[in-house]
Amino acid sequence: MALADYKHPYVTVDLLLFSIIDGKLAICLTKRDEEPFKDMYAMPGTFIHEDESAEGAVERLLADRLGLEGNIYTEQLQTFTDITRDPRERVISIAYIGIIPDMNMVKVPWMEWFTIASSNVGYEKLLKVGDSSNASFISNSLGFDHDEMLHIAIDRLRGKTQYTDILFKFLKDQKCFTAAILREIYQAIIGKEVNRGNFTKYQMNTYIEYGLISKTGSTSVGRGRPADTYAYIGGEKLWIRS
């Protein structure tokens, strides 16, 4: 059969943009203003143009829809191909994870931040940031199959804390941070508290051993006892010993 005999599905990219807000993992969502799933929250996304790659579409999405340019960390998560995921047409989505260290980098009014908490019903509970009424909803209320995307992305982030340098992508200042700051990020991602002494003894020492961080030789300034500060110096993968 010739290529013309095959109907082409539409292909999109969807972006799961994460940050840490008030010690909690947070996701950036948009409320849809048209069908399908009008007035429901969803991940920002865009259709891939004929003359661009999936990565190029993500870069365009970051710049045009979220106002983000420059060195924004992204990685491909998974391709979602369920034939019923979009009621309009056959649409395949290539989902990406994005990480920014500061929620205020996103300044466009149509994007909103939600902190993520576990839910007893097996979905994530999403709490709108800055909403004094503590408005929240369960992730299965997201449009399309974006609840599945979110669940898989959180699992990916949690897994990668054990063998990559993913934690450091969330740092606001990679050149000067304390173990307490990195521990807060770690706890936000894995969703539970970690003993302070064990984190310093095992995780921080492992990061030093693998050449990901080094001590700056200075200590933190401010309230409380001064603490050693560290600088992220890069690296590839590592294995955290348990």
Mean pLDDT over residues 207-220, rounded? Answer: 91
The total number of structural domains in the chain stands at 2
Is 186 within a domain?
yes
Q: For the chain, where are the E strands, in sequence order?
A: 10-21, 24-31, 41-42, 45-47, 73-80, 91-99, 111-118, 124-128, 136-138, 177-178, 213-219, 228-232
Whether 64 and 72 have beta carbons less than 8 Å apart is answered as no
Q: Buried (b) or exposed (e) across 139-172, using 16+ Cβ within 10 A?
A: beebbbbbbbbbebbbeebeebbeebbbbbbbbe
Q: Do both 195 and 120 map to the same domain?
A: no
Mean pLDDT over residues 23-27, rounded? Answer: 96
- For the chain, the average pLDDT equals 91
Residue 239 pLDDT level (bands cut at 50, 70, 90): low
Task: Check pLDDT > 60 for residue 115.
Answer: yes
Q: Do both 145 and 174 map to the same domain?
A: no
Residue 120 pLDDT level (bands cut at 50, 70, 90): low
Mean pLDDT over residues 119-140, rounded? Answer: 77
Q: For 39-60, how does the pLDDT look when each residue is reduced to its tens digit (9 = 90+)?
A: 999 999 999 999 999 999 999 9
CA 159 – CA 86 distance, rounded (Å): 29
Q: Do both 152 and 39 map to the same domain?
A: yes
Mean pLDDT over residues 118-136, rounded? Answer: 77
Write down the pLDDT at residue 235. Answer: 62
Residue 132 pLDDT level (bands cut at 50, 70, 90): confident
CA 83 – CA 210 distance, rounded (Å): 44
CA 227 – CA 179 distance, rounded (Å): 8
Write down the pLDDT at residue 121. Answer: 59
161 vs 224, higher pLDDT: 161
Listing DSSP states for 110-155 in one string gives TEEEEEEEE-TTSSEEEEETT-TT--EEEGGGSSTTHHHHHHHHHH
Q: For 160-197, how does the pLDDT look when each residue is reduced to its tens digit (9 = 90+)?
A: 998 899 999 999 999 999 999 999 999 999 999 999 99
Contact residues for 69 (Cβ-Cβ < 8 A; gap 6+)? 62, 63
Write down the pLDDT at residue 131. Answer: 83
CATH of the domain at 188: 1.10.10.10
Write down the pLDDT at residue 119. Answer: 57
Q: How many CB atoms within 10 Å of residue 25?
A: 23
Percent of the chain clearing pLDDT 90 (strictly above): 75
State the residue range of the domain holding 220: 166-232
Between strands 111-118 and 213-219, the pairing is unpaired
Phi, psi of 60, deg, nearest 5: -65, -40
Task: Check pLDDT > 60 for residue 237.
Answer: no
Q: Do both 98 and 206 map to the same domain?
A: no
CATH of the domain at 155: 3.90.79.10
CA–chain centroid gap for 42, Å, is 14
CA 210 – CA 239 distance, rounded (Å): 9
Judged on CB neighbours under 10 Å (0-12, 13-18, 19+), 39 is: exposed
Q: Do both 86 and 152 map to the same domain?
A: yes
Q: Could you tell me where the DSSP H helices lie in 18-175?
A: 54-64, 146-160
Which residue, of 141, 160, 179, is where some domain finishes?
160
Task: Check pLDDT > 90 for residue 23.
Answer: yes
